[in-house]
Amino acid sequence: MKPHTWIAVGALSGAITVGLGAFGAHALKETVAPEDLAIWETAVHYQGLHALALVLFGVSLQVRPRRCLGGWGFLLGSAIFAGTLYAMVLGGPRWLGAITPIGGTLMIAGWLSLALSAWRAR
């Protein structure tokens, strides 16, 4: 993807994160167990961090174009990680929790890919 696309995707993910955070704080607060609300908050937290990472990834590509899979790790990882957690809190099967670490692994891979790309650019 082009740098501006990464920035737009990150900004859209950030907007969705704010909406889901507000939904959890207001609509879910009275309807789900406190431990499920904590799961929701974890999903919002990681999605928000990686929305910012996507924006900064896009900006970094504008400054210095290069090949790097970091953005894909951030995007797919946060979608899988947060998505499975959101689904479980909203009544999805608990076995989705077995898929959640795949998202976490992809987020870690995104960060490592970005680190390697930065190291090679020095």
Q: What digits encode the pLDDT tens for the residues 14-70?
A: 999 999 999 999 999 889 999 999 999 999 999 999 999 999 999 999 998 888 899
Whether this prediction's pTM lies above 0.75 is answered by yes
Report the pLDDT value the prediction gives residue 88, as an integer from 0 to 100: 98
User: Which pLDDT score is estimated for 122?
Assistant: 75
Total number of residues shown for the chain: 122
In the chain, alpha helices (H): 3-23, 34-63, 70-89, 100-121
The per-residue pLDDT for 78 is 98
* Residue 4 confidence (pLDDT): 96
What pLDDT is stored for residue 99 in this prediction? 98
What are the domain boundaries of the chain?
3-121
Nearest-CA neighbor of 109 among 79, 80, 70, 54? 70
pLDDT tens column, 64-97: 888 889 999 999 999 999 999 999 999 999 999 9
